Structure 1
Amino acid sequence: MKKRYIYQFLLVCISSCFLACNGYLEEIPQNKQKLTSTDDYEQLLNKAYLTEAVLPYIDLLTDDISYIAADRDPRYGNVADSYLGAYMWDNNIESTMPNGDEVFGKFYNSIYYTNVVIDEIDQAVGISSNKEETERIRGYLKGEAYALRAFRYLYLVNMYAPPYDPATSSTTPGIPINLETSADDKPYTREMLDKVYGQIVDDLKKAIPLMEENYVSVKKNRFSPIAAKALLARVYLYMQEWDLAIEQAENVIGSNSSLFDLRDEGENPVIYNDNPLSYMSEDNVPGIGYLSEKNTNVLFVNGINELYMILGGNTAQSVFYPSEDLYRAYSAGDVRKYYFMRRNTRSRIRYLKNRYYRVVTINFVDQLSSEYGYTRVMRTEEMYLILAEAYAHKPNGISTAVGYLNTLREMKFRVSDFETNGKLKPEDFSQETLLETVWKERRLEFCFEEQRWFDLRRTTRPSLTHQGLVADPAVLKENDLRYVLQIPQKELSVNPEIGANPR
């Protein structure tokens, strides 16, 4: 049988525990034997946010990224090799990852931290003598922990379980739910999809009032009430609860309707062109980070920019690039095409979405780094597209859906091109063609933000083709079982009751 890759990496040895994190007390400040103060719990919750690269491969599963074997330099240890298993949709995508697929374990570890905060924060002592202030901080941290737990479970269920279908959710296995803080060595089995999503919704419904009633101003790398509402709108969209999705998304936009406006950049001839770049600078690539937490439309950012692992400019680091298919999908006059990507002198498409402010000046480099923006982001644009998709599913909802699409698109097009190439007309659509347009718009807007794979799964699960190092391409067939990722082997080894996903 022909080997697909030049190198294969060994899987990591079996881990010693699953779900419970016995060592979490080691994470709190020194000389503390147990969590006592609200500050201790806040630090533990900060650990749960996981500011490290754990999911750099998810966009490789999609049609938004291509592998160019000709750019691979065998003199170097290419980081790209680590992710070929994911790019080629191996039955086990971790086959080429030196440490295996770490998402499952690290996200459940994060969930364990949130469980500790939820269960124990009510007994925490304040760092000041103000009892009301202490109670307020307790309430907010508890709500924040509920929101983060929901965020983690939504990712896990959309990676390691089938997409949600209301007709079959009560009989379709999902993922394990662990709400405990004990370190008991016991098996964990899967809950049905309806129960997993029910847990996510319940957590968010608890999170929102707790954070609103005990409001604390936090940075955007932590959950706020509006970010939790935006997440709930996303959950309802995935559940095909159109009316509830509309209610939540409208609620968010009612509080923050801002969109990232590209119209002025569209008038700048420097950015709006196809000239290849030999280097990046403020002069030839003007603008600021599209996903920066400084932007008013950005509601929540999580982790670090993991794209540097796959889209870095160093030859020794990557031979992955934004795909030609994605690059050509933008209409004439759509400024996003040039704000997100530009060709270099080798005619390779380079990623630019995370151009980023540092201190006072704009700092451009040819290589991405983990310090340049984020890849997990929630922003108001998503609410407009949730509204468009939800209304597209409703009787007589086409006009309203198109209205939301146009509100968003007008901000992303050069003014002179919007009327001719950007503005959509309700009479041009059926329900089916409108949905296809909404899904395409999501692709254009959310590229490289870890949303495309989830959208492919929950909509059409189309056939995709990827070319790797060998002549034979990899094919992900329509409705392929590999649209559900395999449970990592180290987790199955210590907890076989979970059961492997079918192949």
Structure 2
Amino acid sequence: MKKIYYFMMLIIAVNHTACKNDEFFKLEFPPQPLIISVDNLDQAVGGVYYAMMANEGQLSTFDNLAVYAAAVSDEGAFISTAGNLTPVRELYDRSNSFENERMTWAFIPAYDVIRHANIWINNIDKDVYAKLDGQTRIPPLKGELYFLRAYNYWTLVKLYHPPYQKGGDNTFKGVPFVMSGVPADLNEAITAPAGTTEEIYQQIKKDLIEAKKLLPEDPLRAGGTN
């Protein structure tokens, strides 16, 4: 009987201590927000550039688009030494029937940039950072995010869509048209609806117009990420 009594008292003591500890950590050490200053937001935009420019590896929107552009031109297709690492002739003839790693290496970071740009633009629109000091620095940063989203959609549409035809048929659906941030789950990530050539080019145009409104004429004088 005494053993049962001591055992019950031990359970009560542990539960009581655990509750107090939970309350202590909840009250004394709340999680800090990711962005607590405009400097942090500036760094976040810098991180979006970093995602586009290779992440210290081969996943680079900029570099792999350049390789692809050279491959589909006369420059790449008719140089005898070209094609050791990239099937330039297949790309030139638009006849590659397999997954091309260069296109994949551009695809992955492009959507990394687009997702992050969506998050920061959405947060700015919702006035999440309205109480931070240095409000005049936020519009140019938002302009950079619009530019980054436009550039990466332009990269994707060049890689995966036929050329835009003014007044023609631009209904081809290729790459996912994503205008929200991080997907809620895997299903949302893999079932994002594809955008038509028309939809994506119109979004690129819209983003570039917004970027032009927000970016300063003299970026060196204004400061900021870029």
Instruction: Read off the aligned partner of 1:150 and give its amino acid letter.
Output: A
Count of residues in correspondence between the two structures? 173
Do the aligned partners of residues 170 and 135 (structure 1) sit closer, same or farther apart at CA in structure 2, a change above 3 Å counting? same
State the Cα distance separating 1:213 from its structure 2 match. Answer: 8.9
Question: Which secondary structure state, in structure 2, belongs to the residue aligned with residue 57 of structure 1?
Answer: helix
Give the TM-score of the pair, scaled to structure 2. 0.64
- Which of 119, 124, 129 aligns to 1:124? It is 129
State the Cα distance separating 1:126 from its structure 2 match. Answer: 7.6
Equivalence map 1:332-481=2 (5 Å)? none
Do the aligned partners of residues 214 and 146 (structure 1) sit closer, same or farther apart at CA in structure 2, a change above 3 Å counting? farther
Instruction: Read off the aligned partner of 2:222 and give its amino acid letter.
Output: S
State the Cα distance separating 1:103 from its structure 2 match. Answer: 0.8
Do the aligned partners of residues 100 and 161 (structure 1) sit closer, same or farther apart at CA in structure 2, a change above 3 Å counting? closer
Instruction: Read off the aligned partner of 2:113 and give its amino acid letter.
Output: S
Q: Are 1:47 and 2:50 matched, yes or no?
A: no
Asked whether the equivalents of residues 115 and 180 of structure 1 are also in contact (C-alpha less than 8 Å), the reply is yes
State the Cα distance separating 1:211 from its structure 2 match. Answer: 1.9
| Whole-angstrom distance in 1 between the partners of 2:36 and 2:130 | 6
Unaligned runs of 5+ in 1: 1-30, 73-79, 223-503
State the Cα distance separating 1:100 from its structure 2 match. Answer: 7.3
CA RMSD of aligned residues (A): 3.2
Asked whether the equivalents of residues 107 and 152 of structure 1 are also in contact (C-alpha less than 8 Å), the reply is yes
The residue that corresponds to 1:57 in the other structure is 67
Do the aligned partners of residues 116 and 213 (structure 1) sit closer, same or farther apart at CA in structure 2, a change above 3 Å counting? farther
The residue that corresponds to 2:34 in the other structure is 34
The residue that corresponds to 2:10 in the other structure is none
Instruction: Read off the aligned partner of 2:71 and give its amino acid letter.
Output: L
State the Cα distance separating 1:158 from its structure 2 match. Answer: 1.3
Question: Which secondary structure state, in structure 2, belongs to the residue aligned with residue 171 of structure 1?
Answer: coil
Do the aligned partners of residues 100 and 196 (structure 1) sit closer, same or farther apart at CA in structure 2, a change above 3 Å counting? closer
- Whose Rg is larger? 2
Asked whether the equivalents of residues 118 and 145 of structure 1 are also in contact (C-alpha less than 8 Å), the reply is yes
Q: Which consecutive aligned stretches of 4+ in structure 1 deviate over 6 angstroms post-superposition?
A: none
State the Cα distance separating 1:142 from its structure 2 match. Answer: 0.7
Asked whether the equivalents of residues 37 and 125 of structure 1 are also in contact (C-alpha less than 8 Å), the reply is no
State the Cα distance separating 1:67 from its structure 2 match. Answer: 4.1
| Whole-angstrom distance in 2 between the partners of 1:170 and 1:64 | 28
The residue that corresponds to 2:215 in the other structure is 211
Do the aligned partners of residues 158 and 103 (structure 1) sit closer, same or farther apart at CA in structure 2, a change above 3 Å counting? same
| Whole-angstrom distance in 1 between the partners of 2:47 and 2:205 | 23
Equivalence map 1:4-403=2 (5 Å)? 34-49=34-49, 50-52=52-54, 53=58, 54=60, 55=64, 57-58=67-68, 59-65=70-76, 66-68=78-80, 81-83=84-86, 85-89=87-91, 90-92=96-98, 94=100, 97=101, 101-121=104-124, 122-124=127-129, 131=133, 134-185=134-185, 186=188, 187-212=191-216, 217-218=222-223, 222=226
Unaligned runs of 5+ in 2: 1-30
Greater per-residue helix proportion = 2
| Whole-angstrom distance in 1 between the partners of 2:174 and 2:103 | 21
